Amino acid sequence: MIDMPAEPPPAHEQVIEQRLAQCGLDIGGVSVRFEDYLQSTEIVIRPTAGATVDHFECIKNAAGYEIVTFEDREMYQAYSDYTAELARPEMLESLKARLQEKGLLEALPERASFENLDAYAKALEAHGGVAPGSVLRVYGDEILFYPPRDGESPAAFVDHYSDLIGIIGYLSVRDGLRFAFIGNEQFSEER
């Protein structure tokens, strides 16, 4: 039996690999391939590639819109923070425009006006057209959104909570408000 040489990667993947090598990464520590389950090309950077924070701009430019994953958790988090900060101005402008269009920037509650986060969360609910204390809960320094129990249809849910979620999204980007969604798993535990 004759061993066949490995099939070369498609041209798009080769271009990305070449760009990453030009960034100074050891290409032996990088894999670039299309993943069906992601419907995208995934770039996996292992510690052996020698990537540092100083490589992030070059990696981002080389990757374009493809998915970049670092095997090292700290590097992955640092890269995610880097790309989020790059997207922040555009996201903030988009969220702000949406709130302006709906008249929700007027009289938007400001955190400094409230003695605690719980009172602020209730003011945000009221501003978003939701009964205060109905879906937002405070846990430490984070506001959690608990989904309603009444089984609203997806369309009714969006109609009812989209203003509040838009407000929270805007404040998360603008002020760094810590916010999280709680899934439906809580209901199976309480029943």
Q: Same domain for 137 and 183? A: yes
pLDDT at 76: 97
Q: Which residue has the tokens 């007027």?
A: 106
Q: Tell me the pTM.
A: 0.69
- 97 within some domain: no
Give the model confidence (pLDDT) of 137-146 as tens digits.
Answer: 999 999 999 8
Measured between alpha carbons, how far is 178 from 50 in angstroms, rounded to an integer?
Answer: 32
Residue 185 has pLDDT above 50, yes or no: no
**Helix axes of 154-175 and 73-101: crossing angle, nearest 10 degrees:** 110
- The DSSP secondary structure of 82-121, one letter per residue, reads HHHHHHHHHHHHHHHHHHHHTT-STT---GGGSSSHHHHH
pLDDT at 190: 41
Residue 191 has pLDDT above 60, yes or no: no
Q: Same domain for 182 and 142? A: yes
Residue 189 has pLDDT above 50, yes or no: no
pLDDT at 5: 53
Beta strands at 67-70 and 179-181: parallel, antiparallel or unpaired: unpaired
Mean pLDDT over the full length of the chain? 89
* Domain end (from 90, 122, 143): 90
Q: Same domain for 16 and 69? A: yes
Answer whether 181's CB lies under 8 Å from 164's CB: no
Measured between alpha carbons, how far is 142 from 110 in angstroms, rounded to an integer?
Answer: 16
Give the model confidence (pLDDT) of 3-48 as tens digits.
Answer: 655 555 578 899 999 999 999 999 999 999 999 898 899 999 999 9
Q: Same domain for 118 and 81? A: no
Q: Same domain for 56 and 126? A: no
- 182 within some domain: yes
Q: Same domain for 63 and 17? A: yes
- 4 within some domain: no
Count up the domains in the chain and report the number: 2
Q: Same domain for 141 and 74? A: no
Q: Same domain for 128 and 60? A: no
Q: Tell me which residue range forms the domain holding 35.
A: 11-90
Answer whether 109's CB lies under 8 Å from 127's CB: yes
Q: Same domain for 138 and 68? A: no
Mean pLDDT lowest among 39-43, 71-75, 136-140, 158-162:
158-162
* Domain end (from 33, 67, 90): 90
Mean pLDDT lowest among 42-56, 142-156, 159-173:
142-156
